[in-house]
Structure 1
Amino acid sequence: MEEKRTRIIEKDLKLGKIELQVDNLDDLWQLYNIIEPEDLVFAQTFRRIRQKKEMLRPDSGEKVKMYLGILVKGVEFHAFSNRLRVRGLIKKGPMDLITLDSHHTINIEINSRFLIKKEKWSKFHLIRLEDAVAESEAQQILIAVIDEREVTIGLVTSIGIKIITHFQENIPGKRFKITYHEQSLQKFYQEISTVLVENNKMYNVQAIIVAGPGFAKEHFSRYLREKVPEIEVPISIENASNASKSGIYEVIKRGATSKILGKLRLFQESDLIDEVLRRLGKNQNDITYGFNEIKNLAQTNAIDKLLLTDVFLREQSIEMRKEIDEVIRNVEKNKGKIHIISTLHPAGEQLNSLSGIAALLRFPISQN
């Protein structure tokens, strides 16, 4: 199976420019945490061009494809439509078709090619970019948790979990006519299969996991193997206590799927947060969290691993980001490792509750 990765087309840090091509959903999330207000983004985009007589109608005019550069004012991540919306003011484009400083939104989607220009690329931005280049779309898995009437389907990627759908089917009990029960069950299975086939093609997944309570998971897995030849990836069966979103998290958390999922960054990050919580529970002073505490330690060789959430980095002021960048550089100078944790899964949310930044230490320190 061919790997799809973020591609760096051109890189010139002296001029602050990096040109990229987006190849998967994880890339969009990484870019959401890289592109910031006051950056310049250049890309092919569509803009509606109206004649003077059409000015009063916002939906009038012809959509024209053009290459624009915008000064970023905001970025929105739309996971369900697989796109990043970058809003800003036009700073470059065909002068006969555009007005400088007018508003425009560039949609960055899978297979998009674009250029980002920053005044200065921070260390943590470059780390995110390296992560995006290193990660492969081949590490994506569909999980369907199912019982007799309910199903939830999620996509597990390198950085998190995307819930694709959840629905219920009104299936009559076996006390009704058997044919009626079986017809309803077959309809339920067909609806689930359609979602799995579509997403299997869209995301090029490595495997499908079917889980849930009771025997529904075995029955549906057999249906997939016998009735849905479009799905050729391996199908495995696991236990889960329910068919809701929490059932998907349960399958992942239990680690029963480690043979399939063990290489995903998502699980490496979960292990790191488990280690943070374990050390906190032991109270042996070999763990600390909070920016001020970590800032002081960063100048020593005490920090083995520095953990920061994407939300913590994204929500800081420009001045604070400069301080964070200095901390990261100091930790790396002292041979420490940096891990930017995604908040698209529960481990990242746990770290966020601990201020969004923590450090695993090489040795215990006295903490006042």
Structure 2
Amino acid sequence: MRIIYKDLKNNRVKLNTENLNDLWHLEQIISPGDIITSVTWRRPKTKNDKIRPERQEKERVKLSIQVKDVNFHKHSNRLRVLGKIEKGPDLGEHHTINIDTDSRFTLTKHWESDHLERLEEAKKASKRPKVLLIALDDETATFGLVRQYGLEELGEITSTTSGKMYESDRESSEKEYYGEICSKIRNYMENKNIPSVIIAGPGFTKKKIHSLLKEKYPKIAENTHLGNTSNVGKSGLNEIIRRGIVKRVSEEDRASLETDLIEEMLEKVSKNGKATYGKKEVEKAAEMGAIEKLLVSVEQLRKDRKNIIPIIERTRNTGGEVYIVSSEHEAGTQLARIGGLGAILRYRIS
């Protein structure tokens, strides 16, 4: 995310999105009632016709809309912001502004501290490396990408090798499978500008792939990291994150960090230790200044912002750290299921 200018005296910030992660951050920042000003496309409304013919060409116009709803469509790489036109042609009409991975617009809103922190995080995150994940064995290879909002599945390759094959056919099939995996790794890393890859799974297939990468694409092999998992498929990709393999490769990776924090909290809760969860318990801990790390699910913050913001502010005012957790990964979903609020404490509370 690029911050073009920031005028907090008038509650205005001009932004330029740079990647898919920025759209996820903006979904958490933009709220109903905010004003977005952007160049957009709209069919002109004629004086004679109340209904616009669908064949009429759209025109490029500058509009300001008051936000009613916002949705992140990660598969189409866009954030759809629906609102009522406040400034520009067709005042009072509804319009949708589509924000993609290279959009410039001005956002006017009441900026709270967590909004500004998320903007700065998005700005820093644009400079962080992405990591390609592969969970595989001798039958299946599943590809994924670690993004700020969590895990994105990219695709899967299945081997045609069968136990009933002759040895020569089996070797040929394995060679084809391994070659296809290596080519897919190269394509993803080049097309998506990914600097490193983690290959993990049970057995020795990962080592065979690494050896083949050394022969075919030595530069990629230099940035390849191996790990062990007991699963393949999406479960295997989540296991790579859960085991901290991603963290070792990219220390600042958010999905891995959030998973570690939630698991630490749940472990301490199970041992009657310095952790708690649930709105009532976390609110009490915040009032006592006992929170070291506050974990808030994105959904809970969106649903109950009025009551969650005071807890966040109390935590920060007493020196605690605040983590807004995505539910796009396994641990984040787990936090949402237990109420969306958890805390690692400085000391036990009764």
The two structures have a TM-score, normalised by structure 1, of 0.84
Quote the RMSD (CA, aligned, Å): 2.8
Partner of 1:89: 84
Residues 169 and 188, structure 1, Cα contact 8 Å, conserved in 2: yes
Partner residue of 1:73 out of 68, 72, 83: 68
Deviation for aligned residue 1:46: 2.5
Task: Give the Cα separation in 2 of the matches to 1:361 and 1:298.
Answer: 9
Equivalences for 1:276-291 in 2 at 5 Å?
276-284=265-273, 286-291=274-279
Q: 1:194 to 1:63 in 2, by over 3 A?
A: farther
Take 1:177 and 1:54, find their aligned partners in 2: how far apart are those partners? 73
Q: Deviations over 1:328-359 (max 9, x none)?
A: 22222222221111222222122212211122
Which amino acid counterpart does residue 339 of structure 1 have in structure 2? Y
Code of the aligned partner of 2:328? L
Residue 72 of structure 1: CA displacement?
Answer: 1.7
The one of 76, 93, 98 aligned to 1:102 = 93
Q: 2:31: which partner in 1?
A: 36
Paired position in structure 2 for 1:3: none
Q: Is the contact between residue 42 and residue 115 of structure 1 (CA under 8 Å) also seen in structure 2? A: yes
How many angstroms apart in 2 are the aligned matches of 1:195 and 1:102?
47
- Name the amino acid aligned to 1:323: N
Deviates more, 1:39-48 or 1:272-281: 39-48
The alignment partner of 1:89 has SS state of strand
Aligned: 1:264 with 2:253:
yes
Q: In the superposition, relative to structure 1, how do residues 223 and 323 fare at CA in structure 2: closer, same or farther (>3 Å)?
A: same
Q: Match for 2:202: what amino acid? A: P
Describe how 1:302-321 pairs up with structure 2 within 5 A. Answer: 302-316=290-304, 321=305
SS in 2 for 1:14: helix
Tell me the SS of whatever aligns to 2:29.
Answer: coil
Secondary structure (helix, strand or coil) at the match of 1:19 reads strand
- Whole-angstrom distance in 2 between the partners of 1:362 and 1:162: 35
- 1:9 is matched with which residue? 4
2:232 maps to which residue? 243
* CA-to-aligned-CA distance 1:240-292 (integer Å, 9 cap, x gap): 333311111122222345431333222222222122112101114x3222223
Is the 8 Å Cα contact of residues 289 and 314 (structure 2) preserved in structure 1? no
3-state SS of 1:314 partner: helix
Q: Which residues in structure 2 correspond to 1:167-186 (within 5 Å)?
A: 167-173=157-163, 175-176=165-166, 178=168, 182=172, 184-185=173-174
Q: Deviations over 1:64-96 (max 9, x none)?
A: 333222222222212223221212222223x3x
Q: How does 1:108-257 map to 2 (within 5 A)?
A: 108-118=99-109, 120-173=110-163, 175-176=165-166, 178=168, 182=172, 184-185=173-174, 188-189=177-178, 191-193=180-182, 195-228=184-217, 231=220, 234-257=223-246
Q: Aligned-pair distance for 1:228?
A: 4.6
> One-letter code of the match for 1:303?
I
Residue of structure 2 in register with 1:301 after alignment: 289
Letter aligned with residue 209 of structure 1: I
Structure 1 CA distance for aligned equivalents of residues 23 and 221 of structure 2: 27
Aligned residue type for 1:330: R
Q: Is the 8 A contact 1:138 1:205 kept in 2?
A: no
> 5+ residue gaps in structure 2?
none
CA offsets per residue over residues 204-245 of structure 1, 9 Å max, x none?
Answer: 223111222333323333333433578576112222333311
Aligned-pair distance for 1:154? Answer: 0.4
After TM superposition, give the deviation of residue 324 of structure 1 in Å: 2.0
Distance 1:47 1:190 in 2: 48
Question: 1:57-68 to 2 correspondence within 5 Å?
Answer: 57-58=53-54, 60-68=55-63
CA shift in 2, pair 1:77/1:190, >3 Å: farther
The code of the aligned residue for 2:87 comes to: K
Distance 1:225 1:54, change over 3 A: farther
> Where does structure 1 lack aligned partners over 5 or more consecutive residues?
1-5
Is the alpha carbon distance of 1:167 and 1:39 closer, same or farther for their aligned partners in structure 2, counting shifts above 3 Å? farther
C-alpha distance in structure 2 between counterparts of 1:276 and 1:354, whole Å: 12
Query: Does the Cα contact within 8 Å between 2:182 and 2:209 map onto a contact in 1?
Result: no
Separation in 1 of the partners of 2:186 and 2:45? Answer: 41
Q: Are the structure 2 counterparts of residues 288 and 255 from structure 1 closer, same or farther at C-alpha, using a change threshold of 3 Å?
A: closer
For normalisation by structure 2, the TM-score amounts to 0.88
Compared with structure 1, are the counterparts of its residues 202 and 242 closer, same or farther at alpha carbon in structure 2 (3 Å cutoff)?
Answer: same
Tell me, yes or no, if structure 1 residue 353 matches structure 2 residue 344: no
AA aligned opposite 2:73:
H
Alignment partners' CA distance in 2, 1:47 and 1:192: 44
Count of residue pairs brought into register by the alignment? 349
* Structure 2 letter corresponding to 1:215: F
CA shift, 1:308, in A, is: 0.6
Q: Secondary structure at the match of 1:100?
A: coil
Aligned residues of 2:44 and 2:59 also touching (Cα < 8 A): yes
User: Aligned to 1:339, which of 299, 303, 323?
Assistant: 323
| CA distance, structure 1, for counterparts of residue 268 and residue 85 of structure 2 | 50
Shift of 1:159: 4.1
SS of the residue corresponding to residue 278 of structure 1 reads helix
